[in-house]
Chain A
Amino acid sequence: MFVHIRDLHYKYPNAEELTIDQFNLTINKGGITTILGESGSGKSTLLRLIAGLEMPTKGNIMVGDDCMCSHSKFVQPENRGIGMVFQDYALFPHMTVKENIQFGLLKWSRKEKKTRLQEVLELVNLEGYDKRYPYELSGGQQQRVALARALAPKPKLLLFDEPFSNLDADLQIKIREELRKILKTTGVTSIFVTHDQEDAQALADNIVILRDGKITDTGTPDEIFGTDCDISERLAVKPRVLSKL
């Protein structure tokens, strides 16, 4: 087991109910897990807890052999070696693509930085764009830069917060497939958060369904949505899944 989350609890200050309630999850190395839930289900909070941007009220998170947080320990997000692609990408507007991507390569030599930049640009198919500023890129390109930036420091784990919500529907399908290919090439372990079950189905090795901060169902896409992946079948399956959500 590469990622191991045990008994995670979280409550926002001033909130009555737990936002995350007794959450347990294990992920294999190189696996792609999708957390599927409606808005307000606590899925983004969960991602922020794993990233270290929020501190859990209770519970353990292990990534690889390192304990990220337990009742006695809390590793700051900058020291976790976890990458994250934000919903709105959060590309630094005052930096070029190159500066954005190299931003996380803190202790790398100049030469290593240059090689790494070329590698990740190639990976996301954006060679030659390194001098552009974020506002000079299309939505799809911005997203790929955000991915390249998160991949550049070779994180142990990569997190995605609703990565397709800002893209057009047809672009979404194309990028979704590209993304799965890239992730499988690099072999990075990743967690997606989404409310779109088609995204979940197309990307994930494993799906976790979250409702009111609790897991209601887990399994492979086939187990959750049925074995037949025909479009019409899948639409027919929807009511069943929705009732689960």
Chain B
Amino acid sequence: MSIIFVSLILLPNLSIIVQFFSESNDNWTHIKEHMLSTYITNSIILILFVGVFTALIGTSLAWLISAYDFPLRGFFKWGLILPLAIPPYIGAYTYHGMLNYTGVIQTTLRNQFEITVNQQYFNIMNMPGAIFIFVMFLFPYVFTITKAFLARQSTSLIENARILGSSSWRIYFKVVLPITRASIVAGVSLVILEVLNDYGVVKYYGIQTFTTAIFQTWFGLGDLNSAIKLSGTLMVIILGLLILERVLRGRKRFSFTTTKVKLLKPVPLKGRNKWLAFSYCMGIFSLAFILPLLQLIYWALLTYEKFLSNELFSVIGNTVFVAFFAATIITVMAIVISNFSRLHRGLTAKLFPKITILGYSIPGAVIAVGIVTLFISIDELIYSWGWTSSYILSTSVVMLIFAYIVRYLAVAYNSVESGFERIGTNFTEASRMLGNSVTQSFFKIDLKLIRGAIFGGFILAFIDILKELPLTLILRPFNFETLATNAFNYATNEMIHEAAIPSILIIIISAVAIYFFHYVLERE
């Protein structure tokens, strides 16, 4: 069964590779000669700056919160994860709405202080602006992974450094940064994949990247063939990045297996330092969560009457239905595959996890291209057998749900796998020694012990699907709206106020899920 699941994931990617080598047309020659270098430069600038800044902000926050005590530290521990609840595209148009000529900041300056500012300084719709947006809403990836690492692994090292008389700064640069390198790389890779996947921010801010180019050639020029070629190029770049990460990591391993988990005891900060640490955390938290949320709430209050209609409820219904349905399938598949690779040795068992992760590394637009080509050929096959009178699969929600599965299987898989890793195989073996078969043991013991991890995986997949934009935009059936497409469409049609309600709904559902997830993890 696991083999079937894994090949389902591989199929759309294979279909891109196959078609990549098909004959090229004029569009492609044009793109290659005149535009490809712009896409590549823009994408690389974005990745580079967003990567560096998320690493700096994410690790410094994680270190402050792990090592020191200052006002509201307990709140920031999970509060600083909350910006993940705001999808970058929502952040992007919210900030634009705040900063533009009619936005709250310039209006206040004009009306209260009679200051008219130079528009140049307040224009966010450019490359630095996009970098700012990505950093603000993606740094929690680095923050959470690094914080978890610091809490689990580093206590004795840091305590030793303290005993040996190192100052705080010295510890940070000589000990903390080097030992957390692996988790920083892990966090930053996630951030980079998100940036490459993004369509909303770059489209709204008018920056030409691979994703926007795929959309443009496909829907603007109606040229699926060139879209496939662009997707293939992007896949090559991503594979290159993944290999680079492997090579950089080399043979170094920064984690040791110790069963004794000792928590780092935070040192209380005093006087000026206390307030500096607090302001830093509070500043980031305001920029990345409070300010955009307040702005959205204000807009929502202006427009809510328009929205309390059946349309909104049907959008909510659609969103929850596809997210719930796809997340359930994803979770079941994750359990089956990770249980298989846990209990088996050999090449296939080792390869499966890598393949599931492949889906997560590949941007939504590329997956969409692969899936459309795949489903159309299946539909043609069914049609030619005379079973149906029209294209059934490629016009239904099945295609969208299948795409979610390909893209987000890794999310649930990682969670379930770490659950399995934590319990090891001892309990299963004990159960078998007491006369239960592998299957019986699985249901009576394993499944119950990793309940938390399974639930966590489900939640993560659920909110990722809830926020998903590029796949949904391309693959949804006609007239099928989710909260994400709804918000994005209003925003791109310059109806920013109307975009507020669906945006807030996404943020609230995600924030509750994140809180819940954090709470479950803390308790375990």
Contact = CB atoms under 8 A, between A and B. Distances in A.
B72 interface: no
Interface string B431-444: 11111110010001
B426 A153 contact: no
Interface in A5-31: 13
A171 B402 CA distance: 58
A90 B427 contact: yes
Contacts of B431: 92, 103
Most buried by B among A81, A90, A150, A153: A90
Most buried by A among B345, B426, B430, B434: B434
A86 B435 contact: no
A94 B433 contact: no
Contacts of B434: 78, 83, 103-104, 149-150, 153
A208 interface: no
Contact of A51 (B433, B437, B444): B433
B429 A53 contact: yes
A209 interface: no
B433 A77 contact: yes
A143 to B, nearest CB: 14
A90 B429 CA distance: 9
Interface in A59-101: 76-79, 81-84, 86, 88, 90, 92-94
B315 interface: no
Per DSSP, chain B at the interface is: helix
A169 interface: no
A78 B440 CA distance: 10
Nearest to A87: B426
Interface in B398-453: 426-427, 429-437, 440, 444-445, 448-449
Contact of B433 (A13, A82, A92): A82
Nearest to A53: B429
Given A93-B449, A94-B449, A84 B426 contact: no
Given A84-B433, A103-B434, A153-B435, A13 B345 contact: yes
A94 B426 CA distance: 14
Contacts of B436: 78, 103-104, 106
Interface residues of B, number: 18
A106 B435 CA distance: 7
Contact of A78 (B432, B444, B449): B432
A31 to B, nearest CB: 20
A103 B436 CA distance: 9
Interface in B143-199: none
Interface string B332-367: 000000000000011000000000000000000000
Contact of B430 (A13, A79, A81, A84): A84
Contacts of B440: 78
B445 A92 contact: yes
Contacts of A150: 433-434
A86 B437 contact: no
Contacts of A51: 429, 433
Contacts of A52: 432
A92 B427 contact: yes
Contact of A83 (B346, B433, B445, B448): B433
Contacts of B429: 51, 53, 77, 84, 86, 90
Contacts of A104: 433-436
Interface of B: 345-346, 426-427, 429-437, 440, 444-445, 448-449
8 contacts: A13-B346, A53-B432, A77-B432, A84-B433, A94-B449, A104-B434, A153-B434, A153-B435
Given A88-B426, A104-B434, 16 more contacts: A13-B345, A51-B433, A52-B432, A78-B436, A81-B435, A84-B433, A86-B429, A90-B426, A90-B427, A92-B430, A103-B444, A106-B435, A149-B434, A150-B433, A153-B434, A153-B435
Interface of A: 13, 51-53, 76-79, 81-84, 86, 88, 90, 92-94, 103-104, 106, 149-150, 153
The 9 A-B pairs with the shortest beta carbon distances in the complex, nearest first, are A104-B434, A90-B430, A90-B426, A84-B433, A77-B432, A78-B432, A78-B435, A106-B435, A94-B448
